[in-house]
Amino acid sequence: MATKKLVMVGNGMAGVRALEHLLKLAPDAYEITIFGAEPYPNYNRIMLSSVLAGGADIQEIVINDWDWYKENRIQLYAGHMVTRIDTKNRVVYSDQGAEAKYDVLIMATGSNPFMLPLPGADKEGVIAFRDIKDCEMMMETSKKHKKAVVIGGGLLGLEAARGLLHLGMDVSVVHIHPYLMERQLDETASRMLQRELEAQGMTFLLSKHSESIMGRKRVKELRFTDGTRVDADLIVMAVGIRPNVALAKSAGIEVNRGIVVNDYMETNIPSIYAVGECAEHRGIAYGLVAPLYEQGAVLAKRLAGVDTAGYAGSVTSTKLKVSGVDVFSAGHFAEPEGTRALRYQDEVEGVYKKIVIHDDRLVGAVLFGDTGDGSKLFSLMKSRESVKGREKELLLGFTAGAGSSVSPEERLASLPDDEIICGCNGVTKETIKDAILNKNCTTVSSVKACTKASGSCGGCKPLVEGLVQLYAGDAAGEPVKEGICGCTTLNRDEIVAEISRMGLKSIKEVMNVLGWNNPEGCSKCRPSLNYYLGMLFPESYKDEKESRFTNERYHGNIQKDGTYSVVPRIYGGVTSPSELKKIAEVAEKFDVPMVKITGGQRIDLLGVKKEDLPKMWEELDMPSGYAYGKALRTVKTCVGSTFCRFGTQDSIGMGIRLEKELERLSTPAKVKLAVSGCPRNCAEATIKDFGVVAIDGGWELHVGGNGGVHVRATELLCVVKTEDEVVEWASAFIQYYREHAQWNERTSVWIERVGLDSVKKALEKKEDREALHARLKLALSTQKDPWKEILSDKELRKNFEPLPNAEPVKN
């Protein structure tokens, strides 16, 4: 039987989850192509607020990394917007010129944020809060501006506001209703939430109708219909979403509010399906993740030819943590006619509970501050069983009249097997129970690695811990013990110690001997182990290229359109006419779309095709600037005493010496240096990993700075007199960092974790510094410029050959 071609438009959570199910049920049934409008792999949109608030970085919210697509033979067109579907000839076309034929087409186009059509809404500084690009815009804005206004007092708006507070902005939340989160909370719970958030620093403007956005090019203020106004450098609109149906409509697919589907997610056109926020089933378009995953499971079985009941719709509940406060709501909590409500409120502990009953059945609930009974209440709503005589038990969590508390174990045991425990990833109690009882997952981390439960926002972690205790009993592992990833409970120090003690020499050996739960590892632990082995055994360990990220495998920064950037090393920012001429000639020959001076005083050739990379480097014949790697990136310099009338030392010469001393060195995370020729600090040395500032008769050495999202000024390590001492201390510091930091941990984070005093103590003796310097020299002696290695190895060069008849695949 010939393999069918399956094309999916959309690379989001719902669609990719459906494909995950399909690959398990029928791994070889389809040749799969995905078009994603964003230049990223599949990521967890729910976690964007955590990225904004500093609780996670972009890499941590990726659900399926680039390697997942490659391992499952999926052609991914990332950064491609599908513009047309030819339903007659069954072909999909993108704005980048890519096209793909299909036998089966899945529409998973998600939703678009609704932007209020206010005068001035097109001004700079007015954005939505929907994707990674929006997060990055907020982070950049917070560096230059202070006044933020969020329009929308729902969940999304409040999470955006909390993230902006974390970024140091003054935040006002504008809401059209008289109280917050009116779709999830009643007024009492909402007022309690408002007090909590005001204590965190938010300001609320309620019952406000926005009229216009003022400012010339950039927003300056928001005006309301009552004549009042509020200053704003940034306006975030979080007022709702709308199913993205424009493409489907243009293709003749039936749409209403969303793309109309039947119980098997089929549209009106044969072989075209829709799933997720873009789909409308029985008149409802769902915006919560659990119903979307239920839809995906039905669709996957349908496509795999497995008998399944159709999707019958979902009863929804909301259990979440709003800016640190636990909230749960479900059903008809607003007390419709004919219902009666029971309430419990404790202002001291910040707890509020309300249940709503109709005809002796539970039809609604709101929990604030204590959401432990939420799952049980939701199960009762779905089962529609009588609760007569148990009202107080449901409200207060104890048996009426008996006064005995219901234990957490009893609560969990009473939950039905189909209860969703992890809403972010759609993991049921039955799935977790099976992992514990049949797959030896006896810790939270192993359950997370096996099922993804608790792997996103973490709100369900207490429930997962409880299930581990319930079903594993005495075999349950330490519930709070987590390692470098979900594949192991070992942390960085334990792993490095065991590798050294037992002389483990490969990633596979480490995973096998140290008892990895996942024998293949994951995108977090494989690069970590690759670094630790290379750091411990620089002479004997052979770098495992497949365990590096895409940028490091191809030795170039991948851009959003699938091209790469080439950055040759320019020592200390100093170049020559002949070098500039060579770069210009290569740029012209390979038709480079953009040539840019970088912030690190280098030249970036942007928009290079993957297959052109080896030839470009061959003709440049210059060292790589490692703009892509976890290595020394740049040594920024000012002109110093060579030309500047204020310069006290030769900062150019010092910078070039440091760069040549440390180039090609592999480090836990990227490392940036700078040398300023006087205390005026034109090279910005005090926000670098290692900064050198010239003073009269010597040099100040600064460490632990960061000019990124979380700006951190350096701390003074010491003052030295000679250039040789600068090199000695710099080498010792960076080698000590190499040997003790966690993989992917910047020096700024590491210094805060271990303390500057511990670093000073480790480096205070000259013999210790010399020993560290010697180990650094040994590590460097094994390193070659990557492009010289690639150019001399035919097998390595094959990695850069383009796929036949395809756009570059970002994996």
What CATH number is attached to the domain comprising 292? 3.50.50.60
State whether 267 and 161 are in the same domain. Answer: no
157, part of any domain:
yes
- Is the pLDDT at 645 greater than 90, yes or no? no
Run of H or E residues at 693: strand 690-695
Between vectors from CA 510 to CA 506 and to CA 513, what angle results, nearest 5°? 130
659 and 733 housed in the same domain: yes
For residue 143 the two structure tokens come to 């560096």
pLDDT at 1: 52
The answer to whether position 67 is within a domain reads: yes
Q: What's the rounded Cα separation, in Å, for the pair 64 and 17?
A: 10
φ and ψ of 32, to 5 deg? -105, 135
Please state, rounded to an integer, the average pLDDT across all residues of the chain: 87
Max avg pLDDT among 254-263, 587-596, 710-719 = 254-263
Q: What is the mean pLDDT of residues 692-696?
A: 94
What is the rounded CA–CA span in Å between residue 135 and residue 149?
Answer: 15
pLDDT at 671: 95
Structure confidence at residue 802 (pLDDT): 59
Strand pairing report for 325-331 and 317-322: antiparallel
Do residues 663 and 773 both lie within one domain? Answer: yes
Specify the amino acid at residue 630: K
Q: For residue 55, what pLDDT is reported?
A: 61
In the numeric block, the tokens 């900064």 are attached to 691
Place of tokens 């310069």: 647
Residue 717 lies in a domain: yes
How far, in Å, CA of 704 to CA of 712, rounded?
A: 8
Does residue 594 carry a pLDDT above 80?
Answer: yes
C-alpha to C-alpha distance for 777 and 480, rounded to whole angstroms: 40
183-208: per-residue pLDDT in tens?
889 999 999 999 989 988 899 999 99
Q: Does residue 789 fall inside a structural domain?
A: no
Side chain identity at 381, as an amino acid letter? M
What is the β-pairing status of strands 420-422 and 690-695?
A: unpaired
Domain that holds residue 743: 625-784
Tens of pLDDT, residue by residue over 724-779, are 999 999 999 999 999 999 988 999 999 999 999 999 999 999 999 999 999 999 99
Provide the pLDDT for residue 808. 38
Tokens 């148990």 identify what position?
390
Per-position b or e across 651-666, b if 16+ CB within 10 A of its CB: bbbbbbbbbebbbbbb
Classify residue 482: in a domain, yes or no: no
pTM of the model: 0.60
Strand 557-558 versus strand 564-566 pairing type: antiparallel
Q: How far is CA 678 from CA 58, 420, 447, 688, 724, in A?
A: 37, 61, 55, 16, 18
Judge if 452 and 529 occupy the same domain: no
Residue 477 above 70 pLDDT?
no
Gap between the terminal Cα atoms of the chain: 29
Question: Within this chain, do residues 557 and 577 fall inside the same structural domain, yes or no?
Answer: yes
Q: Is the pLDDT of residue 149 over 90?
A: yes
What backbone torsions phi and psi does residue 516 show, to the nearest 5 degrees?
A: -60, 140
Mark which of 188, 205, 239 sits at the end of a domain.
239
Opening angle at CA 572, ends 571 and 578, nearest 5: 50
pLDDT greater than 80 at residue 617: yes
pLDDT tens digit string along 96-144? Answer: 999 999 999 999 999 999 999 999 999 999 999 989 899 989 989 998 9
Residues 643 and 779 in one domain: yes
Which has more pLDDT, 222 or 547?
A: 222
pLDDT at 44 over 90: no
Count other Cβ atoms within 10 Å, centred on residue 496: 19
Tokens describing residue 170: 């003054």
Residue 691 falls inside a structural domain: yes
| pLDDT at res. 468 | 87
Tell me the mean pLDDT in the region 541-555: 78
Is the pLDDT reported for residue 53 higher than 70? no
Do residues 467 and 344 both lie within one domain?
A: no
Does the pLDDT at position 58 exceed 60?
yes
Query: Of 268-277, 376-385, 479-488, which has the strongest mean pLDDT?
Result: 268-277
Greater confidence (563 vs 492) lies with: 492
pLDDT higher for 597 or 452?
Answer: 597
C-alpha 705/C-alpha 719 separation (Å) is 17
Q: Which residue has the higher pLDDT, 282 or 417?
A: 282
Between 458 and 642, residue with greater pLDDT: 642
Q: What share of the chain in percent tops pLDDT 70?
A: 92
CATH at 724: 3.30.413.10
8 A C-beta contact, residue 505 and residue 540: yes
Q: At what angle do helices 155-166 and 132-144 cross, to 10 degrees?
A: 40
Can you give 357-421 as a three-state secondary structure string? EECCEEEEEEEECCCCCHHHHHHHHHHCCECCCCHHHHHHCECCCCCCECCHHHHHHHCCCCCEE
Is 484 within the bounds of a domain?
Answer: no
Tens of pLDDT, residue by residue over 654-692, are 999 999 999 989 999 999 999 999 999 999 999 999 999
For residue 251, give every residue at least 6 positions away whose Cβ sits within 8 Å of its Cβ, in sequence order, or none.
84, 85, 87, 269
CB-CB contact of 516 with 488 (8 Å):
yes
pLDDT over 90 for what percent of the chain? 55
Q: Identify whether residues 226 and 247 lie together within a single domain.
A: no
Cα–Cα distance for residue pair 322/170, rounded to 1 Å:
19
Is residue 720's pLDDT more than 70?
A: yes
Please determine, for residue 402, whether its predicted confidence score (pLDDT) is greater than 70. no
The yes-or-no verdict on residue 296 having pLDDT over 80 is: yes
Type of residue found at 397: G
- Percent helix, percent strand, percent coil in the chain, to nearest 5: 35, 25, 40
- Whether the Cβ atoms of residue 650 and residue 699 lie closer than 8 Å to each other: no
Q: Say which DSSP state 84 is in.
A: E
Sheet-wide strand order for 632-637: 632-637, 671-676, 690-695, 698-703, 715-720
Residue 803 clears pLDDT 60, i.e. is over it: no
Query: Residue 809: what pLDDT?
Result: 37
Residue 400 has pLDDT above 50, yes or no: no
Q: Tell me how many domains the chain contains.
A: 7
Same domain, yes or no: 102 and 49? yes
Q: Are residues 748 and 641 in the same domain?
A: yes
State the CATH number of the domain containing residue 443: 1.10.10.1100
Same domain for 231 and 141:
yes
* 231 lies in the same domain as 256: no
Residue 246: exposure state from Cβ atoms within 10 A (0-12, 13-18, ≥19): exposed
The number of beta carbons lying within 10 Å of the beta carbon of residue 312 is: 10
Question: Which residue shows structure tokens 């259990």?
Answer: 319
Domain CATH for 390: 3.30.390.30
Q: Which two tokens stand for residue 763?
A: 């480096």
Write the pLDDT tens digit of every residue in 333-350.
888 788 999 999 988 788
Q: Is residue 322 very low, low, confident or very high in pLDDT (cuts 50, 70, 90)?
A: low
| Residue 497 CB neighbours (<10 A) | 12
Residue ending a domain, choose from 475, 508, 539: 475
713 found inside a domain: yes
